[in-house]
Each structure stands twice: as structure tokens, then as C-alpha cells.
Chains A and B, each alone.
Chain A
Amino acid sequence: MGVKLLLEKANVPGIRTYDVYRREGGYATAEKALKEMTIESIVEEVKKSGLRGRGGAGFPAGMKWSFIAKPEGVPRHLVCNADESEPGTFKDRYLMEFLPHLLLEGLLISSFALGSNDTYIYIRGEYAWVADILEEAIVEATKNGWLGKNILGTGFDCMIHVHRGAGAYICGEETALIESLEGKRGNPRIKPPFPAIQGLWMRPTVVNNVETLAAVVPIIKMGGDEYAKIGVGRSTGTKLISACGNINKPGVYEIDMTISVEDFIYSDEYCGGIANGKRLKACIPGGSSVPILPANLLLKTAKGETRYMNYESLSDGGFATGSMMGSGGFIILDEDQCIVKNTLTLARFYRHESCGQCSPCREGTGWMEKILQKIESGKGEVSDIDLLWDIQRKIEGNTICPLGDAAAWPVAAAIRHFRDEFEWHIHNRALSQTSNFGLQHYADPIHVPA
């Protein structure tokens, strides 16, 4: 059993309610922070913890906090990014659904540290029932004096507001989220100015992911140094992984980032192996945007070393032979899955979600979808593969926000590692309509079912 810092109490009956959460030691850390600590010391602990943003980018959270501008007389805001929309990712939903008060406690401590009197949770619109759970928890926390005016007699006022989005992946990007929170279309802003200087209503704003803000509770509870001892290298603390696809036990798991990818997939404590006795073909280890890896490069790096579930190891080899930790959305594909089709559904997703501001993304995502559809439906030509490669290269790095990159990377990685599967589709047009390319040389040599 690995260390559990966030989900330790997730199975305690009634933990969703204030009374049980409090009885289990909840809000004691917030009390310590507000009564015994200074703003500076809280920020310092978060810096020392090495906590990296859990939404996908992995930017050090303490550093992000230290950028916030503090002009005289201008309110500052903390915004919790609960717009979880990256395909393969459903960890924040789990956290909010089962441990809403853990998030609120993290928000309270963080709001205090950042000086935010009005903190917003921007939650994706489809998580309507989760928004209800959060609203209920806010009412309970307010009734018990943890939110509102003059909290614990410290003179600090804080209110947390739930704001429901309405269906737009792009609003997970922090400046699009801010635009959306202002009642506009989710079009990302050009940076600078960064939100820390001019964010929500042009006021200094910090936007952090749900898991990042919940992690502030164990960090303050145990101290940044202790937190940093868990994990390895710059992958400190624990990470929530939402595992899905063709595995025996899909679900949300908390790992301490020292576990190998192989153990994570095959041990009964986590994914429990590939479903239906099939063999592993490929994996998208950090949400749909990150490069897909064939089984051989997933379990071991190109150098032949064991690959681990942490930021450094998952990205070992760069995009040539590695991938990324991303959001922790871990998608497993078994031997029956078609890489062309999988890439097509992701390309369609990004075309649908492009906000349309930048031409390379708006046009490029549509072209990629069309070409992939052509190959998938048995009408592809060899030159289409090069065209796809060319288009994705022209999107990457040429857009205001990272959605362009996120759309380009899955296509690039699919061609990089599975080019012969694309070629097989093109050379076997009729056959590709009735059967799959299968494993071929990507076969995971280790786990062949008897």
C-alpha cells in the first residue's frame, strides 16, 4: 500500500458531510494555518513541498503563488479550476464528489495565503450534481464558522462560490476560464499580462487545479519538507491517477510516484491487469493530449530502464520515446484497439473544442479529423500520412493557448510510433474495414496471457 494523503479517508462512511469530516480531524489544519501561521510561512511551506500543478502543466504551485501582484486596494482572487475535461481524466470529480470538505479546507488555507476574500470554483457544467454537493458543503462550512466574515476571529473574510461552466474543454485553460467566469466565450487571452497580475476582472488572480488545492491540506498539516520526502526527485507528494480503458479495475488511485508503470497496470491494488485476458498494446499515460506510447516504450524507457509513474520518468526520452504525466488520465488500449480510430476520435474532440480564435488550430484540427476519417474509412493514400504530419507540425507552437499543441501531439505520436499501422490501413483498404492491425511488433513481451 502506498502513502495516501488525499484519499486516506475517502471510504469513511459519511465523510462527505461536515460532521464526519470534522470528527476525522478535518479543518484542524485550516485552524492551524489561520491562527498560528503567517501568509508568508504558508507560501513557504507550499514552495518547500515541491508541489507541482496537478492539472496537467506541472508548474510549481508555490512559485505560481509568489507571482501574485499585491497592488494597494485591489482585491485578489483565487480560482479553483474544476473544469476537468481532458479525456481520460476524472480524478477531480472523484475528489469533489467524495471529499468536498477536503477541497474547501484547501481553498480556505490557500485563500488566506493569497488574500482572496471571494474565491470561485469553476466547475464544468456537466458535473451538475457535483456542484450541488459542493454547494451543500459550503453551506455546512459557513454554518460552522469556516467561511464567512471574521473566520475564527482572525479578521479574515472568505466566501467560496461555485460557478458552473456550460460545456467547453477550452475553459480548462486558465485565461479562457477567467473569460468564461466573466460571462464571455471561452477565448484564451494573450499572455502577458499573466493572471497573477491581471486576471479575473483585471484583478490579480491565481488559478489552481482541484487536486493541487486539496494537496495544500496535507502539506500544511505535515510541513513542506516532510511532504517533499514522499515521492522521488521533483515528483514530490502523491498524485491521483484516473485509470481507464481496457483494464480490469478502472478507477481513481492515489500513488506516491515511486511505483513502476508495470506494477501500476498489473498489480491488483491498482489497474489489475488488462481486461479479458488481452495483451497490452499502447497507453496514453497523462490525458488525451500527451503522446501515446506503445507497450515496449511504456514499460521501459528507450535505454531499457524501468519506467515509473512520475513526471521525470514518464517524460524520459522526450517526445521521441517518452510521454508526459499530464493530468494523470491513464488510458490503456488492448491488442484489439485500432490506433487510427483512436486518434480519429481524439482529433474530432479537439476540432470540436477549438475555440476558433487562431487559424492554425481552428482550421488544422478540422483538416486532421477529415484526413484521419479518410484513412479510417479505407480511402487513405500514403501521402495523407505526411500531410497529417505536416499539419500537426504547423499547429504546434503557433497558437495563443496550448490547445493547439494538445491537438497536435496525439496525432504526431500516433504517426511516430504506429506509422506502419497507418500504412497498413492504406494498403489494405478493404481488410481494414473488417479487421484490426493488432499488435504486430508492439507486443508487450512480458505479459502474454497463458
Chain B
Amino acid sequence: MSLQFNNEQMTEFKRLVARYPEGKQKSALLPVLHLAQDSFGGWLPTEAMDYVAILLNIEPIEVYEVATFYSMYNLKPVGKFVFEVCQTGPCMISGSENIITYIQTQLGIQPGETTKDGIFTLKLVECLGACGYAPMMQVGKIYREHLTKEKVDAIIAEYRMQVAAQN
């Protein structure tokens, strides 16, 4: 098996599992899937899910049924930065539709798609609990709130620069 946690990730895995009583290690499944997704390129190939099943000593199907249920697990490859834009009521009445259209135009992709350079993915999501700071989107761990067209431009430029700096 080629997908494996490195030492640091394995330490984190052990820390997560230790939160639950002896024999209840399956409880760590959600946090461990987050760790796997973060460790293996932002998504969960079947191989990663099978690896998690072995680590937690559960059946692969127990991992698949969970990974397909929760919206935060990506079952297909995604770009380096995933724009998850909220489209639920409170964001909608605060102008999220214009922001979504603007991002689509600026990145040249539709919701669910990734830019050709593999940098950006656009996802439409339901309420993220930032209704007072709408419109908003989540990018990785961070919430980008009070979005305007100018802010979207700045955010896209910021991430492009990050990628350029790494190359």
C-alpha cells in the first residue's frame, strides 16, 4: 500500500483515537477521515478509505458509508484551493448570487468544477453559520466573509501568488 500516514500524521492519528474508550476506536472515524483528506491531497481515494479501515480495525464499507454521507469529504480530486460558497437563505438575501456568478466568471468554471491549472475548485454549499457576515465562503480552514467583487479579486490574487511562490 502506497498511501500511508507519515510519522507526524501517525502521531496525530494516535492522539485522535486516544479520545475514545478502549474498543470504541470507530468513534475516531470522522476526525481520522479529516486527517486522511488533509494528508492525501484534499480528497479521499478508495485506497485512503481502505487504509483508514485497516487502521481503525473496521470494515471498508463502514468507512465508505460515512465518507459518502458527510459533505466535507471530497470523493473526487479537487483544486489546491476549494471555494465553498454559501447559497442558503440568509446569504442569498445578502447577495450571494452575485458573488457566485462573479466567481464563476473570474475563474471560468461552473460549480463543481476545477480550473484547468488545478488551483481552484468552486463548490456551492449550504449554511456555514456565518449568516451575519454574509455573503461568505470557506477556503480550507478559513472563512472569508463580507464578500464583495473587490474582495473576491483580492482573494484569488492572493492564492495565485501563494502558488507562484511555491513553484
Contacts and interface: CB of A to CB of B under 8 A. Distances in A.
A407 B11 CA distance: 42
Interface string B24-59: 101111110110000000000000000000001010
Interface stretch (B63-71, B105-113, B152-160): B63-71
A86 B92 CA distance: 15
B147 interface: no
Contacts of B90: 87-88, 244-245, 288, 331
B142 interface: yes
A345 B87 CA distance: 7
A161 B19 contact: yes
B65 A90 contact: no
Contacts of B34: 125, 164, 166
Interface in A60-98: 75, 84-90, 93
Contacts of A186: 69-70
A165 B131 contact: no
A89 B132 CA distance: 9
B72 A244 contact: no
Contacts of A168: 69-71
A369 to B, nearest CB: 12
Contacts of A245: 90, 93-94, 131
Interface stretch (A126-134, A378-386, A420-428): A126-134
Contacts of B129: 84-85, 89-90, 93, 124, 126-127
Contacts of B118: none
B73 to A, nearest CB: 6
Interface in A324-374: 329, 331, 333-334, 337, 341-342, 345-346, 348-349, 352-353, 355
A342 B92 CA distance: 8
Interface stretch (B1-9, B75-83, B133-141): B133-141
Nearest to B140: A128
Contacts of B56: 183
Given A126-B72, A345-B89, A349-B126, A201 B24 contact: yes
A333 B31 CA distance: 37
A331 B58 CA distance: 43
A87 B132 contact: no
B128 interface: yes
Interface string A256-291: 000000000000000000000000000010001000
B130 interface: yes
A281 B20 CA distance: 49
Contacts of B94: 244-246
Contact of B26 (A87, A163, A182): A182
Range of interface residues on A (Cβ < 8 Å): 35 or more
A349 B89 CA distance: 9
Contacts of A334: 93
Contacts of A93: 129-130
B115 interface: no
A348 B142 CA distance: 25
Given A129-B141, A180-B30, A353 B126 contact: yes
A143 interface: no
A183 B29 contact: yes
Contact of A183 (B27, B131, B143): B27
A181 interface: yes
A182 B24 contact: yes
Nearest to A252: B132
Q: Which of A183, A251, A355 has the most CB of B within 10 A?
A: A183
A165 B30 contact: yes
Interface in A239-254: 242-246, 250-252
B89 A331 contact: yes
A233 interface: no
B92 A331 contact: no
A181 B27 contact: yes
B128 A126 contact: yes
Contacts of A23: none
A242 B132 CA distance: 7
Interface of B: 19-21, 24, 26-31, 33-34, 56, 58, 62, 65-66, 69-73, 87-90, 92-94, 125-134, 138, 141-143
8 contacts: A75-B21, A90-B132, A125-B34, A184-B65, A245-B90, A348-B126, A352-B71, A352-B126
Given A87-B88, A90-B133, A185-B69, 9 more contacts: A87-B90, A118-B21, A168-B69, A180-B30, A182-B26, A183-B28, A342-B89, A346-B89, A352-B71
